[in-house]
Structure 1
Amino acid sequence: MNDELAAGRHLLTIGQLADYTGVTIKAVRVYHDRGLLPEPPRDSSGYRRYGADHAIQLVKIRTLAEAGVPLARIKELLKATPERFSAALDEIDHNLAQRAERIQLTRQRIAALDHGDRLFVTPEVAEYLDQLRRLGISERSILLERDLWILLQSAAPQEAAAWIADKTSAITDPEFQQLYRDYDAAFDWSPHDPRLPELAERTHHWYGSRQAGEDDGPAPAPAITRLANVAAGASSPAWTRIGELARRTP
């Protein structure tokens, strides 16, 4: 049958052509639809019969497709002069290289998901959140703080950089560490819990002593303050109550 095929006789069904050239029947039909492979007329039995010219063309199409050439460019390349063929391949290679870079960047971002917060916040904030984890703070509180930092970094990136520097310094203070642990524990407390006034007083005292000895840094804009207060208040009525009590403490 190979000799007859080489002589140009139309002997192959679509299934035989697919097997002969190493592609699927579905691929042959796609190439027909895309205008890459001429579709022969049906014979008296109602079958389409393919010959050597179809097989050669199909092998060329398959080779280009396997090399990564987009189907939209294959028809152009099959008719191109050697010079144009070479130039088109260089262009396709360049596009594939750019696509590979984008894929690599996407893979890096996906890998960053394994590192928790580092995909969403700056490295400084991510390290601060990791410090909170090492202190035993609950993941719930850490995620609430992370989400707040995402908002702050978007609304006021320069101020957020100064604030995280201040927080990174504060977290080294054992008194602040204990305050954070107590706040974490108070999340589910009733806003009328009798332990809240003492925690509010300690909070007021710690911040008061810190501000007396250090530069407060840039004051947040009113919109940022409202955003932070809403985010914190919506998460825990007890935290909202602590804030109210701390502001009343002389």
Structure 2
Amino acid sequence: MTANTIHETAIVAPEAKIGTGVEIGPFCVVGPNAILHDRVRLVSHATVAGFTEIGEDCVLYPGVHLGHPPQDFKFQGEETWLVLGQRNIMREGVTMHPGTAFDKARTVVGNDCYFMAGSHIAHDCIIGDRVVLANGAQIAGSSSIGDHVIFGGLSGVVQKTRVGRHAFIGAMTKVAADVIPYGSVNGNDAHLVGLNVVGLKRRGMPRDALRDLRAAYRLLFAEEGTFQERLSDASELYSDNEHVMEIIGFIRASSNRALVMPNA
């Protein structure tokens, strides 16, 4: 069993639950309702407040603040949670807030994510695995972000937005509508510029699957017919392609939400 290392200037509440091999550096503060699993590392000047659970092997760099009350006027101090998975890296100045009783009552972050300096996760968000937020990227409350999504620097997502798996959000992009899985978006307001082909190739998507995905994308966002007609056509033509059907399922799952579309 590896001993914990707690700097003499750190303040750790006796009630906090601390795993083994945890490192808490200078001037860190860990509150009474915090849970730090094995090998969590707080480099220095980091704060873990509220009902916050941090998974194994996460690293908090200086100025990271997790679990302070959400920036929601309806919040009245009720018990709500911020839960992080394993091996997440939070660079300088990252902030994340717990949920609210009016929504999910918890904010959940997956595994193996990388949050660069000054990025922010708001209340009641659900963040998948291997998500990357570049410097200053901001995710507003009650948003849902799929696995492997990458956000460029200073990009922003408005509240209650869905971003599908493997999407790419360009730097300084304002996302005010849902982004399909595998989509690549840019601009203010955001518009689709195609598929995240570079990312998909890097992650080993087979050439045949990528070819069909690109063909389905062209069909879905063509000018002929209505969008619902094109959606039905793509569903019939590519029913055996799980990636295309993921896009179609994503679109159909929330018919009352606008989608980020290509520029006319």
TM-score band, normalised by shorter chain: under 0.3
Q: Which has more strand, going by share of residues?
A: 2
| TM-score under structure 2 length normalisation | 0.24
Structure index of larger Rg? 1
